Structure formats: structure tokens, C-alpha cells
A = this chain, B = another copy of it.
Amino acid sequence: MNTISFARGVPAAELLAVEQLADCAKTAIERDGASVLLYGHTLGYQPLREWIGERHGVDPGRVVVTNGSLQAFHFVLSAFAGAGRVIVERPTYDRPRSILSGFDEVPVDDDGLELDELERLLDSVEPPAFLYTIPTFQNPTGVTLSEERRRDLAELAKIRSLRILEDDPYGLVRFEGDVLPTLFELEGGRNVMYSSSFSKTIAPGLRVGYVILPEAIAAGLEDVVASTYITPALVTQATVLEFLRRGLLEPNLERVRALLRARRDAMLEALERELGGRAGWSRPEGGYFLWLELPDGIDATELLGRATEAGVTFVPGPDFGGEPGSARLAFSFASPAEIDEGVSRLAGLVPAAATVELG
């Protein structure tokens, strides 16, 4: 029996534009080898910085292109070392939780970050280094910050001079509902820093992520970045740029969205059929993940042990700072048929009598 993975927050191989990327890499090296095969600008391949700057309406000097956006998170941290603690969402992406030596948390509900709780926290702690938030199709919950809250949070950033790092790797992977403005757009990019990546829109193995910072902070990072890896991998950055310049991003996104929508639908249908009325789950309009709240008394970490034996895996909520009875299910990797089977296997391990207290 093959194990079905709801654990891996990765795209399936069939989502990859392999032939197109192979050709883009070839062209990028052939045409620009003299620059992309040597050391280049520490803050990234200049023409890609320019493309990203234009897309977001900012000077390219504010754009730092890195070997994946997690590396950008480290650089932002180094820029604000000693500037206070970081505030994160609860639950949130597990990597920042493990990277940060200490942090404060603000809970997330179905409309995203709870702003009342954020304000209460801000009133009670020293000024934070920044707030780290994933407002759109959040990892791990799949939840999206509502438009009203976005406007309020952008306003709050201005009024309180609250720095925010808006992490937005999934924003373009929306397959339903209206596109919402980013915090970066609403606030104008003074207090809001914006990070994203091409991992979910093109391919993660290219390791091309970026962050948009105030210009002085970006320039101030040059030493840190140079002392970390001299220059990021320019060949892959040039490959991404070639893909973008050929206009391949939008058709690729359409394909990715259609595939992910089918997978999300398969997961929602299977959950309804197998656990309807007994468990709760988020209904993301994009991204890779949904959040499962197991029936009362069921511990996700304990369940994972039995689930693995039964041939299905997921990540328990506590890994993200979530409740013991919660879990992250990724619908990005398994096929719709596998998702259907995987949810059946999982539900088979949840006693029929168990129900969740739905709030």
C-alpha cells in the first residue's frame, strides 16, 4: 500500500512546466552566461530585481532576491536584530517558529489574524521587531485575512508604526473568490515589507524567493548577504526571468490553479462524506493547505502514529503552535483519487461516536 501524503507542502510533479523551464534555462545561460555564470549583485540578478520592482511598483533597489524566501526571512531578522521580539500568528508556518529564539503570538480565526488580540498584545509588550503574517491562504490553516481586516491592519501599521513582514507565497495561487489587496499595497510599503517566491507559482527546486524592503534596509543588507553566500544562484534567477519574460507565468498559473482546485474539491468532498458533522475544517480559496479540527478528545499527534501505519500522513497542529486536536492537510501533492482514499483511511481511525464542538 502506497502512503498518501497530506504532509508534504509541495506541488506534485505534474504541476511543473518541465519542458518550458529546460528551454528557459538553456536560453538564459546561452544568452547571458557571461553575467549569470559569474558572481553578480549580492542582492540578486539585477534584471530580475527590475522585473519584480516593476511588478510591485517599487524601485529595484528595494528588492532582495534570495535562494528561496526562507533565506530572505533570515536576512530580515538580521536587519532587525536587537529591535525587539517578533510577533507571529498562532498557528503559523513552523520554520519561523523554530528559527526565532522567542516570539509573541496572536491567534488566527476564520478571517485571519485577530486584530483585537494584536492590539491588546501591542499594548502590553515592548515594541516588536515586526509582525510576521501570511495573510493569504495561510500556512498552515489555509485561512485568508478578510478585506476589512486588511484595511484595518494597514491602518494600524501606519498609526502605530508597526513593522509587518507580509509573507505571500500563495497569493497568486487563488482558484476561487476575489483577489484581495495585499497589506503592502494598502499601506504603501513604508512599514510593510513584502516577501514572496516562485516556489508555488513556477517551481520550488529553483529556489528563487524575494523580499521588498525599505531601500536603506535593503542596501544595509549587502554585507550580511555577501558574508552569507557572496551571490545567490544567478542561473536559476535568470531562468525564472526568462520564464516571466516569455509570458509563461499566467498560463502556468491557470494550469496550477485548475489542478489545485480539483484537489481541494476532492478533499472537501471526502471530508464532508467521511467526517461531516464530526470534525471541522477550513475552506481555503487557494493555496496548498486546509486545517482540520478533529473530534473532541482526539489528539492529532497520537493519530498520526496510527495514520502512518494505515498509509496516510499529515502534520499535527501543535507543530505550528495549534491545538492538540488540529492538523494541517496539504491537498497540493496527492491526486484527487489519492485524496479521496487518504481521507477515507484517516476517517477510519476516528471513532464514529466522536464529534467536534463546532464553534
Contacts and interface: CB of A to CB of B under 8 A. Distances in A.
A19 B29 CA distance: 8
A298 to B, nearest CB: 29
Identical subunits present? 2
Contacts of A40: 205
A13 interface: yes
5 contacts: A13-B37, A13-B38, A16-B38, A74-B228, A95-B226
A38 B233 CA distance: 16
Interface of A: 10-11, 13, 16, 18-19, 21-23, 25-27, 29-30, 33-40, 67-68, 70-71, 74, 95, 98-99, 203-207, 223, 226-236, 239
Nearest to A9: B39
Contact of A34 (B18, B37, B231): B18
Given A18-B29, A68-B229, 15 more contacts: A11-B38, A13-B37, A18-B30, A18-B34, A21-B33, A25-B26, A26-B26, A37-B206, A70-B227, A70-B228, A70-B230, A71-B228, A74-B228, A207-B234, A235-B239
Contact of A205 (B13, B95, B233): B233
Contact of A231 (B23, B35, B95, B207): B207
